[in-house]
Structure 1
Amino acid sequence: MRPLYPQHFHPRHSTLGSGRNPVAWIVGLVLLANLGMPLPITPRLMAEPPVKPASQAWPLKRGPAPAWAGLPGNLAGALPVPREWLEEHGAVFLHVSSRHLLETDGTITVCTTEVVRLLGRKAIAILGDHRSILFDPAFEECTLHQAFAVAADGSRRELEARQCQVRDMITDYAVYDNQKQAILSFPGLQPGDTVVVQWTTRGKNPEYRGEMFGRHSVGMVAYPTLEEVLEVGVPVGKTLHAQATGTPTKHTTQGVDWSVWRSVRLEPLEVEDSQTHYLRDQEPHVNFSTFPTWQSVGTWQLNLKPDVWKAGPGVGPLVDQLVAGESVPERKAARLTHWVKRNIRYLSMGAEHHFTPHSPEDVLKNRHGDCKDTAQLLAAMLLRAGIATEIASLGVLGDGQVDSRVPSPWASHAVVVATINGRAHWIDTTHDLAAWNHLNEMDCDRQCYLVNAQGVCRLLRSPANTAADCQWVCQSKLIIRPDGTASLTRTIEARGEAAVSYRDAFLEEPPARRKKYLEDEMQELAREVVVSQVRVDAANLNDLEAPLRFECLAELKGLFDPPVNAGDMVPLSLTEPLAWDKWLSLKTRFGGPDKPLRLEQPFILESTIEVELTGTLKQTQPPEESRLATPWGTIARRVKADASGQKFVLRFRATRLPGEVAGPDRTRYLEFLEGARETFQALLPLESGKSP
Structure 2
Amino acid sequence: MKATRIVVLLVLIRFFFSPSLRAAEPWDAPFAGNPQAILEAAKRIPVPESQPVLILLEQHEIAVDEGGRITSKVRKVFRMANADALEEWASVEQEFQPWHESKPELRARVIGADGAVHWLEAKTIADSPAQEYDQSIFSDRRVIRAPLPAIAVGAVVEYEITIREIAPLLDAGEARRITVYDGVPIQRFRLSLSAAKNVPLQVVSKLIPDSAIRHGETRSGEEWECDWGPLELRKNIEGSLPFDVPNFPYVAFSTAKSWQQVAARYETIVDQQTRTGDLKPLLQGVDRTQPPLVVSAQIAARLHKAVRYTGLEFGESEIVPHTPDETLKRNYGDCKDKSSLLVAALRSAGLKSYVALLSAGFDTDVDPNLPGLGVFNHAIVYVAAAPPIWIDATSAETRVGDIPPADQGRLALIASKETGELLKTPESPAEVNRSVHIIEMHMSGFGPGEINEVLEAHGSSEARFRQLYDGSDDRKTKEELERYAKRDFLAKSVDQYAVTSRSDFSHQFRLQVTAKQAKRAFTVQDEAVAIVFPSLVLRDLPYPLSPGLFGTEQEDKTQARKRDFFFSEPHTTEYCYKIYPPPSFKPKELPRSVDLKFGTAEYKRQFQSNSDGTVDAIFLFNTGKRRLTPAEFQELRDGLRPYTSTSANTEMIRFVSEASEDVALGETGKALKLVRAAAASHPEDLGAQVRQSRMLVTAGAVE
TM bracket (short chain) = 0.7 to 0.9
1:559 is matched with: 520
Shift of 1:634: 0.9
Provide closer, same or farther for how the CA distance between residues 573 and 125 of structure 1 changes in structure 2, counting only shifts above 3 A: same
2:225 is matched with: 260
Shift of 1:630: 0.9
Shift of 1:464: 1.6
Within 5 Å, give how 1:193-342 maps onto structure 2. Answer: 193-205=155-167, 207-209=169-171, 211-219=173-181, 223-245=184-206, 246=208, 247=210, 248-251=213-216, 255-264=220-229, 265=231, 267=233, 281-304=246-269, 306-310=271-275, 312-315=276-279, 317-324=280-287, 326-342=289-305
Shift of 1:196: 1.2
Is the CA contact 1:338–1:436 (under 8 Å) kept in the aligned structure 2? no
Shift of 1:636: 1.4
Q: Return the alpha-carbon distance in structure 2 between the equivalents of residues 279 and 119 of structure 1.
A: 35
Shift of 1:658: 3.7
Q: 1:550 aligns with which of 511, 519, 525?
A: 511
Q: 2:91 aligns with which of 129, 141, 145?
A: 129
2:118 is matched with: 157
Identity level (%): 18
The letter of the residue matching 2:388 is A
Is the CA contact 2:68–2:168 (under 8 Å) kept in the aligned structure 1? no
Structure 2 gap segments, 5+ residues each? 1-27, 661-690, 696-703
Q: 1:574 aligns with which of 519, 532, 536?
A: 532
2:440 is matched with: 477
Q: Return the alpha-carbon distance in structure 1 between the equivalents of residues 298 and 191 of structure 2.
A: 48
The letter of the residue matching 2:101 is E
Shift of 1:641: 1.3
Is the CA contact 2:471–2:477 (under 8 Å) kept in the aligned structure 1? no
Shift of 1:167: 0.9
* Residue deviations 1:103-130 (CA, integer Å, cap 9, x gap): 1233321111122222232311111021
The letter of the residue matching 2:284 is Q
Matched, 1:466 2:466: no
Q: Return the alpha-carbon distance in structure 1 between the equivalents of residues 631 and 32 of structure 2.
A: 42
1:23 is matched with: none
SS of residue matched to 2:49: helix
Shift of 1:462: 0.7
Between 1:227-236 and 1:591-600, the stretch displaced more is 591-600
Shift of 1:235: 1.0
Q: Find the structure with the greater CA-based Rg.
A: 2
Q: Return the alpha-carbon distance in structure 2 between the equivalents of residues 144 and 270 of structure 1.
A: 35
Q: Return the alpha-carbon distance in structure 2 between the equivalents of residues 239 and 71 of structure 1.
A: 34
Between 1:202-211 and 1:111-120, the stretch displaced more is 202-211
1:673 is matched with: 640
Is the CA contact 1:163–1:186 (under 8 Å) kept in the aligned structure 2? no
Q: Return the alpha-carbon distance in structure 2 between the equivalents of residues 77 and 411 of structure 1.
A: 44
Provide closer, same or farther for how the CA distance between residues 519 and 230 of structure 1 changes in structure 2, counting only shifts above 3 A: farther
Q: Return the alpha-carbon distance in structure 2 between the equivalents of residues 560 and 474 of structure 1.
A: 17
SS of residue matched to 2:187: strand
Provide closer, same or farther for how the CA distance between residues 664 and 332 of structure 1 changes in structure 2, counting only shifts above 3 A: closer
2:381 is matched with: 416
Provide closer, same or farther for how the CA distance between residues 187 and 87 of structure 1 changes in structure 2, counting only shifts above 3 A: same
The letter of the residue matching 1:200 is T
Matched, 1:684 2:653: yes
Q: Return the alpha-carbon distance in structure 2 between the equivalents of residues 655 and 130 of structure 1.
A: 47
Between 1:74-83 and 1:429-438, the stretch displaced more is 74-83
Is the CA contact 1:604–1:655 (under 8 Å) kept in the aligned structure 2? yes
Is the CA contact 1:219–1:266 (under 8 Å) kept in the aligned structure 2? no
Provide closer, same or farther for how the CA distance between residues 105 and 492 of structure 1 changes in structure 2, counting only shifts above 3 A: closer
Give the TM-score of the pair, scaled to structure 1.
0.79
Within 5 Å, give how 1:40-59 maps onto structure 2. Answer: none
Structure 1 gap segments, 5+ residues each? 1-67
Q: Return the alpha-carbon distance in structure 2 between the equivalents of residues 193 and 204 of structure 1.
A: 36
Provide closer, same or farther for how the CA distance between residues 355 and 196 of structure 1 changes in structure 2, counting only shifts above 3 A: same
* Residue deviations 1:513-542 (CA, integer Å, cap 9, x gap): 43453455567855x23441352266x653
Is the CA contact 1:281–1:400 (under 8 Å) kept in the aligned structure 2? yes
Shift of 1:226: 2.7
Q: Return the alpha-carbon distance in structure 2 between the equivalents of residues 296 and 387 of structure 1.
A: 24
Is the CA contact 1:515–1:534 (under 8 Å) kept in the aligned structure 2? no
Shift of 1:352: 1.0
The letter of the residue matching 1:370 is D
SS of residue matched to 2:139: coil
Between 1:596-605 and 1:290-299, the stretch displaced more is 596-605
Q: Return the alpha-carbon distance in structure 2 between the equivalents of residues 483 and 118 of structure 1.
A: 66
Q: Return the alpha-carbon distance in structure 2 between the equivalents of residues 360 and 607 of structure 1.
A: 45
The letter of the residue matching 1:155 is A
Between 1:604-613 and 1:431-440, the stretch displaced more is 604-613
Q: 2:595 aligns with which of 621, 624, 627?
A: 627
The letter of the residue matching 1:605 is T
Matched, 1:110 2:72: yes
2:626 is matched with: 659
Between 1:133-142 and 1:285-294, the stretch displaced more is 133-142
Q: 2:468 aligns with which of 495, 500, 505?
A: 505
The letter of the residue matching 1:368 is Y
Provide closer, same or farther for how the CA distance between residues 560 and 147 of structure 1 changes in structure 2, counting only shifts above 3 A: same
SS of residue matched to 1:234: strand
Provide closer, same or farther for how the CA distance between residues 79 and 124 of structure 1 changes in structure 2, counting only shifts above 3 A: closer
